[in-house]
Amino acid sequence: MMKLTILAAIAASAAAFAPAAPAATTTSLAAFESELGSQPPLGFFDPLGMLDEADQARFDRLRFVEIKHGRVAQLAFLGQIVTRNGIHLPGNIDYAGHSFDSFGNGWAALEGPNAIPQEGFSQILLFVGFLEASVMIDVEGTGNEHIGDFRNGYIDFGWDTFDEETKLSKRAIELNNGRAAMMGILGLMVHEQLGGELPIVGPM
């Protein structure tokens, strides 16, 4: 089941980045070589040619997806480290008295003898759907500055106090951390099936 899920996730990611029909106006690859994320040691890295004959709208869409996937992967990787080190929310997850730490970590929380009940998993999916449809979106006309800026006029955390150089630096850090986290969580999903023990993460 887990192997099928991993393959499905990879296929879904590939579909998200699948080449679209060429637009009427295309942009030279050189126009993207100075974009955020094109940095040492790899520089501009597009081995699958997803930006061949792409226009700016195509690039912006891919960047939007990359940032969102990276953010989700960072949360997932951090969740693995935290729960596998015995840190869970206090109290019970339901009225029946099941504590948060009574369920498995990682994939074991979704499938197996210690998995969250289907009703609970359905609630998680509904909540994620709500975030996807109503929160993690870029609302036009609210002052957002770049792709992936989801402040929408009501969240700031001091962003407007930074100068442009600092903003670019922080965006590049987030982008790179997201890329590393996507590889990291995929690696953990594979190791969960292989078993054994990993540094920091612990027993799989």
In percent, the amount of the chain with pLDDT more than 70 equals 83
- Look at residue 24 in the predicted model and tell me its pLDDT: 41
- Look at residue 201 in the predicted model and tell me its pLDDT: 67
The residues, any chain, with a CB within 8 Å of residue 178's CB and separated by 6 or more, are 66, 67, 69, 70, 71, 73, 74
| 8 A C-beta contact, residue 196 and residue 204 | yes
| 3-state percent breakdown (helix, strand, coil) of the chain, nearest 5 | 50, 5, 45
- Look at residue 14 in the predicted model and tell me its pLDDT: 44
- Look at residue 50 in the predicted model and tell me its pLDDT: 87
| 8 A C-beta contact, residue 65 and residue 170 | no
The tens digit of pLDDT for each residue in 76-95 reads 999 999 998 889 999 888 88
**70 or 108, greater pLDDT:** 70
Checking if the pLDDT of 199 tops 90, the result is no
- Please provide the distance, in angstroms rounded to a whole number, between the alpha carbons at the two ends of the chain: 17
Checking if the pLDDT of 10 tops 70, the result is no
| Alpha carbon distances (Å) from 166 to 3, 147, 160, 171, 180 | 41, 17, 11, 9, 21
Model confidence pTM above 0.85:
no
Average pLDDT over residues 91-114: 88
The residues, any chain, with a CB within 8 Å of residue 151's CB and separated by 6 or more, are 142, 143, 144, 159
- Look at residue 200 in the predicted model and tell me its pLDDT: 64
Please write down the HEC assignment for all residues of 89-104: CCCECCCCCCEHHHCC
